[in-house]
Structure 1
Amino acid sequence: MADGAGSGRSRLSALPNDLLRHIVTFLPVTEAARAATIARGWRHLWRSYPLVLKDADIPERARDAAIPRVLADHPGHFRAVILYDCRLASLDRELPAWPRVLVDKRTEKLVLAYRWFVDQPNPARLLPADILRCDSLQELTLDYWTFPSGAEVVLPRLRILAMVRIGISEQELESLIAASPVLESLRLTLNSPKHVRLRSQSLQCALVGLSRVEEFTVVDTPLLQRLYLFLPPTGVVGFRIACAPNLRVLGYLDTRAHKLQIGNSVIGSDTMVNASTVVRSVKILALTVNFGVFGEVKMLASFLRCFPNVDTLHIESAPHDPSVTADEPSGEHHARFWQEISPICCLRSHVKKMVIHDFRGDRNEFEFVKFIAMNAQELQSLLLVSHEGILSSADKVNEIKDELQFLQFPTDISAVLHVSPKAGTGLRLEKASNLTIDDPFEC
């Protein structure tokens, strides 16, 4: 590291302090501290640069001692404190005032998660109330905590909020969102409220896991552009859109699990479309349907009528359940339905791109594809993404390709079969929360 003149000075140390400080911010905390002990000119840098502390950068056996010491010793401010294995007992023991330290050091990004295993007892971990008064926070991720009842919430700079497995009441959740006046992105996963009402004047993107929710309402979100629904419920959940005038991306709506309500109208399989039952702003729509269940097929048509201006449509073909479909009408009945159905506005006049995910090549799936081929006047692209179950069957893949060759489209296109594994849930959620990605449902 010494230069050619033999001065003994580190070439890195000869760089301007501002540049050195920038370099240090990209080092794991252990490497930054090590650099400070090795190079004399770097000793002041570790204490002067904004702290980025990630527990994953510290050997697990050393975390109980190292994390409280780093939090206490660094004069801060804290750019990011990311604890995916938040060891509450050691923090409380070694640094009882750690929540106040995070506030005083002007923490900007905070992740407090608990590495919980199914076979462990379910501990009641109360979130320190000071965290909710950290007015410097811009990003906050909480995983597996109980919300402190009656806590004052002051989060004037918070732009991104993710809550996973949080014990919180409906009213506390509403108050938390209301106390975050510049909140842009919200993720709710496996939290306790059965009824969720979304009301925010700043929110642009919401990712909501509905597995524990019985009723979800978009009450008043004038800037909301994207609503991504995941973790479908085991039963039926009421899903209502009251006021979301700029909603552009919506999915996955489930024909089996979601009881859709637009304004004051509940959408049924025979609902007649009118001005009060449509959402004209949605351009990218994703739906889940079991093509083997005739009731879901009829509901698919009703859902599509509610979004007349969709130009990109994703359909996820849900797994067939023999116990449900045993008494369903035959494939001929489904074919007759698609032949006799009245025109669907978005399919006839707007949809330019369509993707059918988890395509298995079943008869009822093909009846829908034939309907699309006959009626989608503006279609420019039809992609069928195969289900993982047929990846190992070359015969099945060839059979699907052969049948696709007989389809005739009104535009000069052909259906394309895409054979590839499905992306994991983590990657899909990461894409969904990134507003620079235009279509979060794209393969």
Structure 2
Amino acid sequence: MADGAASLLSAAVHGGKGRINGLHDDLLHQIIGHLPFTDAARTSVLASRWRHLWRSTPLAIDDAHLPVPARATSAVAGFLADHPGPLVTVRLRHCRFASLDPTWPRLLAGKGTLQELALFNKDGKVQPYSARLPAEILRCASLRCLSLAFWMFPGGLSGGADIILPQLRVLELINIYISKEDLDTLLASSPVLETLTVRGPWAFRSGAFWNYHKRKRFHLRSQSLRSVVLGLSGVEHFEVTDAPVLESLILKEQSAAGCDDGGRINIACTPKLRILGYLEPRVHTLQIAGNVIRSDTVASPSVVVPGLKILALRVNFRVLREVKMLASFLRCFPNIDTLHIESALHDPSAIHYGVTREQHAELWQEASALKCSISHLKRMVFHKFRGHPNEIEFLKFIATDAHELESLLLVPLKGSFTSAAQVNEMIDKLDCPQFLAWASKVLIVSPKMDIARNLHKASDLSINDPFCY
């Protein structure tokens, strides 16, 4: 888009003064608005008319357009000072904020038209406690999208009086150091916030100290949130309550590497929740309305989430305890129509592999007898399929009970199968005519599909299925 605008502008300039003057101001505003902001500023030297045009064009600043040496100077503050507004978008992901003119936060907040703001603090990435987010940023009342990374949050916000975000709809917090009280204040001061992304490791401020490694409770309550994406490696208990319009809750990288306790996930008062995952039986304890879900939990109104449609689970099929929890989780979500299963293989030294295929077959026979709720399942994606016998027993269970299944997509683990033909050959060798007949109708093998890990896609409710490309 910027290249096309630059070409059109160049053609107008080289065509002579008459052609330039013949273009309507509205068209010239569009051309300037699609240029990188450094090139847009250069148009102001063409003529007095062009200076007026540049100063009245809604400005979008992205420091990626700055030469590397200029990113450590006051160039950005200079652009903000020279341009009276309107200012629409500012993305500062490469600047060294310590080197910028200290007036930049005031200039941003003073424009009154800023809708999208992204501030990535590179210094805070190296020294996590060295940079405090300027409080003026939280007074940009026109903001609709705010993305913050590697900042220490300004503390002691007086009951929301220092935060004015009445139009904020999208909030992204990456490695932010904040008190629980200030986080609550931030959310409460954003009455129309729809999308929240929080990624850690997480640190809560308590008094004068930062508990960076101590595991904490993360309690989320909102009347407006529709989509939440969490990747928190320092939280022992995540709770979402009183979220009446929440539709999607996605957990990413919830547990630290090698950690067998990713915390408790408590879901309550979320009547519109339809997307949930990735739950991991190895590291997560699931609570529904305060009821802990165990391997022997029987479905009842108090432990069932009837509106959930898309569920994603990460399971090691060589560990019987995890497979039992898989069956229990399925009983809690009786109306899912799309199921994602990622086959996980953890550290062999930390688990027991003495589980037989017969034990798994017996478990799924019991689950079938208990009417383990997959009767409405229409689509299943099996990620990182290894072809292990215990995985096959689970597929047999799906074949027996998922009467409405329209497609089963197997995505083999890289290196497990070199072609889809090998998967089909393995299934053909099974001594189970019923399973073979079922597989011939619904089974698809796609070694090229992978799990979607993009945070922006995960939080986008316009994407039907956020768990795969």
Task: Confirm whether residue 104 of structure 1 aligns to residue 110 of structure 2.
Answer: yes
SS of equivalent to 1:145: coil
SS of equivalent to 1:245: coil
C-alpha distance in 1 between matches for 2:44 and 2:310:
51
Partner residue, 1:195: 217
Write out the 4+ residue segments of structure 1 that deviate beyond 6 Å after TM superposition: none
Partner residue, 1:145: 151
**Count of residues paired in the alignment:** 433
Q: Which letter does structure 1 place at the counterpart of 2:192?
A: V
Task: Confirm whether residue 172 of structure 1 aligns to residue 178 of structure 2.
Answer: no
C-alpha distance in 1 between matches for 2:406 and 2:272:
25
Moved more, 380-389 or 344-353: 344-353
Distance 1:429 1:347, change over 3 A: same
Deviation at 1:2, TM superposition (A): 7.0
Distance 1:255 1:31, change over 3 A: same
| RMSD, aligned CA | 2.3
With the length of structure 2 as denominator, give the TM-score of the two structures.
Answer: 0.87
Partner residue, 2:192: 182
With the length of structure 1 as denominator, give the TM-score of the two structures.
Answer: 0.91
Task: Confirm whether residue 317 of structure 1 aligns to residue 324 of structure 2.
Answer: no
C-alpha distance in 1 between matches for 2:141 and 2:448:
45
Deviation at 1:366, TM superposition (A): 1.3
Q: CA offsets, 1:288-318, max 9 Å, x none?
A: 1111111000000000100011011111111
8 Å CA contact 2:173–2:199 kept in 1: the answer is yes
C-alpha distance in 2 between matches for 1:189 and 1:292:
30
Distance 1:8 1:386, change over 3 A: same
SS of equivalent to 1:323: helix
Partner residue, 1:422: 450
Aligned 1:272-283 pairs, distance under 5 A: 272-283=298-309
Q: Which letter does structure 2 place at the counterpart of 1:177?
A: L
8 Å CA contact 1:284–1:310 kept in 2: the answer is yes
Q: CA offsets, 1:121-160, max 9 Å, x none?
A: 4442111111112211111111011111112222111111
8 Å CA contact 2:37–2:65 kept in 1: the answer is yes
8 Å CA contact 2:382–2:410 kept in 1: the answer is yes
SS of equivalent to 1:211: coil
C-alpha distance in 1 between matches for 2:369 and 2:49:
74
SS of equivalent to 1:303: helix
Partner residue, 2:292: 266
Task: Confirm whether residue 224 of structure 1 aligns to residue 246 of structure 2.
Answer: yes
C-alpha distance in 1 between matches for 2:54 and 2:43:
9
Distance 1:424 1:312, change over 3 A: closer
C-alpha distance in 2 between matches for 1:342 and 1:414:
20
Partner residue, 2:74: 65
Distance 1:30 1:148, change over 3 A: same
Partner residue, 1:125: 131
Q: CA offsets, 1:69-92, max 9 Å, x none?
A: 11121111210110012422122x
Identity rate of aligned residues, in percent?
Answer: 47
Deviation at 1:7, TM superposition (A): 8.2
8 Å CA contact 1:385–1:417 kept in 2: the answer is yes
C-alpha distance in 1 between matches for 2:310 and 2:412:
21
Deviation at 1:60, TM superposition (A): 1.1
Task: Confirm whether residue 243 of structure 1 aligns to residue 249 of structure 2.
Answer: no
8 Å CA contact 1:377–1:411 kept in 2: the answer is no
8 Å CA contact 2:452–2:467 kept in 1: the answer is no
Partner residue, 1:81: 90
C-alpha distance in 2 between matches for 1:403 and 1:98:
63
Q: Which of residues 259, 274, 282 in structure 2 aligns to 1:256?
A: 282
Partner residue, 2:423: 400
Deviation at 1:266, TM superposition (A): 0.3
Task: Confirm whether residue 286 of structure 1 aligns to residue 326 of structure 2.
Answer: no
8 Å CA contact 1:383–1:418 kept in 2: the answer is yes
SS of equivalent to 1:154: coil
SS of equivalent to 1:161: strand
C-alpha distance in 2 between matches for 1:50 and 1:17:
13
Distance 1:7 1:206, change over 3 A: closer
C-alpha distance in 1 between matches for 2:437 and 2:181:
52
